[in-house]
Amino acid sequence: MTARNGTARTAQPAPGDTRPNAAAKPVRWAADTVATIREGARVRLDYSAQSLWRVDRMIEEIRREGAPYAAVELVLRGFGAYAGEVVARQTGAEWWATGGEHWLRTPDGRLWDPIDEARRCYGGHGSLRLLCRDATTADGPAGPARL
């Protein structure tokens, strides 16, 4: 960030806040999803990689029911944010935001878009479990990360 006089300055985090500002929304979306799924579907999501099997299955069930995308868009955003938090907690990745989109940068510099991956799951072409596996593996997938 640059001040008006042209000198660089850094935004200071609030006391006790160790996460970048870009994390605020996805962290909230993930927490809301965990609470909603626990209450509505009686499924416990514990931020483990194994829990992403359940999330992939829930997205597949929603897709099979034929729900229109507009009706499930926020649910998918929440599932993607949840998957991103799983990756962040396992790898130390940080959320970044640009143009209203949120994505992760893992410590090795790779970029990941778990929210878009949730949308891809709904379309039958993605997997949050596999995204997590790839993001937490040192060598990861060949080619660019899932961004």
The DSSP annotation for 54-70 comes to: HHHHHHHHHHHHT--HH
Which residues lie closer than 8 Å to 64 by C-beta, 6 or more apart?
Answer: none
In the DSSP assignment, the letter for residue 23 is G
- DSSP H or E stretch at residue 25: helix 24-40
| pLDDT tens for each residue of 28-83 | 999 999 999 998 888 899 999 999 999 999 999 999 999 999 999 999 999 999 99
Nearest to 88 by CA among 8, 14, 10, 18: 18
What pLDDT is recorded for position 99? 86
pLDDT the model gives residue 78: 98
**pTM flag (> 0.75):** yes
- Which of 78, 84, 95 shows the shortest CA–CA distance to 135? 84
Between 51-65 and 114-122, two packed helices, what is the crossing angle to 10 degrees? 40
